[in-house]
Structure formats: structure tokens, C-alpha cells
Amino acid sequence: MMIGLVIFLVLLMSLGLFRHRYGAKPVVAGVRHGERVPHDAEFELYANGFSHCSRKTMLALAERDITFAYRHVDLIETGRYGTLDKDYLRINPNGLIPALVHKGVPIIDSDEIVNYITTQLGSHSEDVTSLEIPERHRFWIEKCRLDSLDPMGGIDTHLGACIPGLTLPLFAVMMQSVSFSALIRGLALHNDRKRVMFFVMARLLGPERVVTVKPIRTLIERSRSAVALHLRELERHLAESEGPYLTGSEFGIGDSALSVVYLRLEEAGWLDLVCPHREFPLVRKHYDALRTRRSWEVLLDAYPPRVAEAAEKLGELATNKTTKMAGLFFL
């Protein structure tokens, strides 16, 4: 009995030491002044084409005509925790993407990166005349924020906080092709074990059963109701600006924060349900306008094929009236 307890405590301490030495750790968002990491290009973006936050930064760089080296980092959804690799943790000890490396100096957190690109770098494009981010754009950038420590906190105030909940069904489908060993590595090294636990549950239960687990279902339903309210506010703002963009005919950086929300709602099977054309004509026009911009190509180029496959599979489950998934989408 005593020996068992000692072995348990030793194992627990070893795991703690292992996490402390090799795991992700919280660090403050922004420019990591004083840090230098190896680099080849002036701008290197560590990102993943499925990551909502990465997409914001890719669009911001493309809109500013900044050439960057794209460094793909795997997420567990695309196969493994590349975010927890030793070399990546040197760039972002949080173990989250995206991170921009500018002349060897890391900048972490998507909104900090967008702010840096927009206000600190000057204009690389002839069309861009102002470095000030207008108030309406700042409003929506803030609304679309995804908190690093509590990504689903503030569903009622933040559109961005509704995104993880609404992506849970898609995450669950993607988990089916992920190995258990990759998930266990996440449990050992990730900074936020709640995130990893959901993936473990989804892997064990499968997409159809995991969405029936009460707290998960409640979270998805709350996110769905809240998103509709945020979109109503957006529809009003677009009516005021006379569109197609937030402040009228000129595109601004807040527009790209919203475009990645639309893309996520679409690939996760929600767009037509929470944002139908007849109720949200201006929001839909906004999305259409954003998709025709040249910057959109950067997202298409980086789009991982396994996301498209999973989105198709989810679409089949959600529209097959005999599945539990359909019950979630078509209440």
C-alpha cells in the first residue's frame, strides 16, 4: 500500500517535472522583445490553414502585400501537436498558433500580429493610405477575438468565443483519423488540458455520441444562439455603412476578422442555418465581397485537404435525418 503510494507520487512528480521542462507555458501576447529565433526570410508565418487565428494573419499579410514564408505547423486536428514541438515552443512557448517571425523576432497572438502588420510596418501597398485602424474595425476585431486562456469565455459578448463551440462537431469528425499516442502527448505537454480532453472524448466516443454529452451539447447550442445575436448586430452595422464592407466601399482589417468567422461557420456546417440569406442579406453580401478579394487565395492555397474531407463527412452526418448529428443541426 505504502510502496504503491510512493510510486504514484514519484510518477506524478516526474510528470510535473517533464511538463515543466518540455511543455507549453503561458507567455504574454505581442512582440517578444529580446528574443531571437533562427529564420531564413524577413517574414515567416508559423500557421495552419485550418486555424481560425492563423487565417486572420494570412489575410492581413496578403492584404498588405507582404511576402512571407509560410511555415506549416500541424494541429492535432490535422494529425499531431506540431504546436508542442521543441523548436516551435522556442518561438511561441504558449504552444499556440499563429506566430509571426519578423527578422528573427517572434510576435505571438493573431490580433497582436494583425495590429503589428497594420500599424507598425508602414504601407507595403500603394492602396493603403492610413495606418490608423478605424473604430468600427477595432470594434469587430475585438468582437472576433479568441482568448488564449479561455477561448470559449464571453460567448455573449464575443463572436470569436462562439467559434470553438460551433467547430466541435467538425473537430470530432477530424479526431477519428488521429492516433491515441498523439493525443497522449498533448495531455502531457499542452498548457490547457481541457482542450485535449475534448479531443480524447471525441476520439473515444465518435462524433455522433460526443455531441450528445450534455455539457458539450449545451455549449454548442449556446454558441449557436449567441452567434445569431452577434450577426444581427453586424447586419445593422453593415446597413449603416451601406456596405459591402464595414465602413462602406473601402476594405479594412476588421473585415478580414469577420471573413474567417464566415469561413468557419461554412465549413462547420452552420452558415446557412445561423445566417440565412433572407434574414442576413448584407452579411452574406459582405462574405461574397470578401471571397472575391485577391487575398482570399492565400487561404485556399493553405487549405488542408483533410479539412475538406471532414467537412464533407460532417455534412453527410448533419443532413442524414436518422443521425444524432442531424438532431443537433436541425433542432
Positions that interact with ligand GSH (CB under 6 A): 51-53, 75-76, 83, 96-98, 109-111, 146-148, 151, 190, 195
Which CB atom, from 186 or from 269, has the smaller least distance to ligand GSH?
A: 186
Give the separation between CA 329 and CA 217, rounded to whole angstroms: 11
* Contact in structure between 286 and 238 (CB atoms under 8 Å): yes
| Least distance between ligand GSH and beta carbon 152 (Å) | 11
Query: Rounded CA gap, 137 and 264, in Å?
Result: 20
Q: Min. distance of Cβ 243 from ligand GSH in angstroms?
A: 26
Residue closer to ligand GSH by CB (options 140, 280) is 140
Place of cell 497572438: 109
Backbone φ, ψ for residue 31 (5° rounding):
-75, 130
Q: How far apart are the first and last CA of the chain?
A: 52
Nearer to ligand GSH, 210 or 238 (CB): 210
- Nearer to ligand GSH among residue 193 and residue 324 (C-beta): 193
Q: Of 29 and 289, which CB lies nearer to ligand GSH in the complex structure?
A: 29
3-state secondary structure of 295: coil
Q: Between 44 and 109, whose beta carbon lies closer to ligand GSH? A: 109
* Contact (Cβ atoms closer than 8 angstroms) between residue 185 and residue 195: no
Which helix H or strand E contains 66, and what residues bound it? none
Strand, coil or helix: 196: helix
- Residue 53 Cβ vs ligand GSH, minimum distance, rounded to whole Å: 4
Q: Which is nearer to ligand GSH, 112 or 235 (CB)?
A: 112
**What CA–CA distances, in Å, run from 175 to 42, 179, 242, 304?**
35, 8, 42, 15
Smallest distance from the beta carbon of 50 to ligand GSH, in angstroms? 8
Beta bridge partners of 108: 30, 99
Distance CA 62, CA 109 (A): 18
Q: How far is the CB of 304 from ligand GSH (least distance, A)?
A: 13
State the minimum distance, in angstroms, from the CB of residue 96 to ligand GSH.
Answer: 4
Q: Is 71 left (phi over 0), alpha (psi -120 to 50) or beta?
A: beta
Nearer to ligand GSH, 164 or 244 (CB): 164
Compute φ and ψ for 30, nearest 5 degrees. 120, -160
- The residue type found at 254 is G
Q: How far is the CB of 37 from ligand GSH (least distance, A)?
A: 17
Shortest approach of ligand GSH to residue 74 CB, angstroms? 10
Beta strand pairing call for 43-47 and 105-108: unpaired
Question: What gap in Å lies between CA 288 and CA 118, rounded to an integer?
Answer: 23
